Structure 1
Amino acid sequence: MLLLRFLTLLFSTCAGANCNQPAPPPQDPAAAQGEPVVREVTGRVVEHAVTLNGDLTGVVLEDRTRVHFPPAAGATLTPLLRGGRTVRVIGVQHPGPQGLVLEASSITSVDDGVTVNVPEAVPPAATHR
């Protein structure tokens, strides 16, 4: 009788699951709620985002990750972000109008190891009248 209870408990606990598998890691609560999260992503550049003035402000990686940086950093980053190059981006991910956006704090060319630290965007100075 005791053996039957033990087997019942064992099989009810493991039913439909592999008991030898570790539990999945807990999801980051901030990510679940759409709050900013620091991420590192590596991928191939497939698209460029430019302003109407032609300033480079971001790229899209082949996994559809959208990477953004201030227009002032675009000229410095252009050689690293040529189409087809593989880059590693570290930054803060947050929700944007077209999905999640990675606001870059550093970008490294995987091809040649060059890293550029991206300065934060500086808001325009207020004008006083």
Structure 2
Amino acid sequence: MRKKIDHIGIAVRDLENSISIYKNVLGGTLIDRYRSDAIGVESEIAIMDVNGDRIELLSPTNNTTSPIARFIKQKGKGVHHIAYQVENLDEAIIELEEQGIRILADSLRTNKHGRRLIYLNPADTEGTIIEYCDYPNKGL
């Protein structure tokens, strides 16, 4: 199945400062900013466009339960995940299972932009957090 990079997720402590860096240093544009209190997300998210590439700046909103807070405590701020857009998420999940790659089933969700997503188990990806996503109403 064809895949392409959709976005890179960056864990940050100071969302305002990070937005400023992406705007003023990298020439990016703030596309959207929102807060998600959903279990397993619990973050404020700023979506930046830098010359056609998407970056998600992720700042934890709950330092006890947010996976972003946990990531920062364990690894520090920086690249959190790489998201790959696939043609069909359901078919991609079957393909992963056939390849022996586990998914984190509880991470399956649709975000406010209509993007369906799921995370692969980092234990099967050499520690890299990989997201697969699709846009059912758009296409690859």
TM range (shorter): under 0.3
Structure 1 or 2: more helix by fraction: 2
Instruction: Compute the TM-score of the two structures, normalised by the length of structure 1.
Output: 0.27
Q: Which has the higher contact order (CA 8 A, sep 6+)?
A: 2
- More strand by percentage: 2
Larger Cα-atom Rg = 1
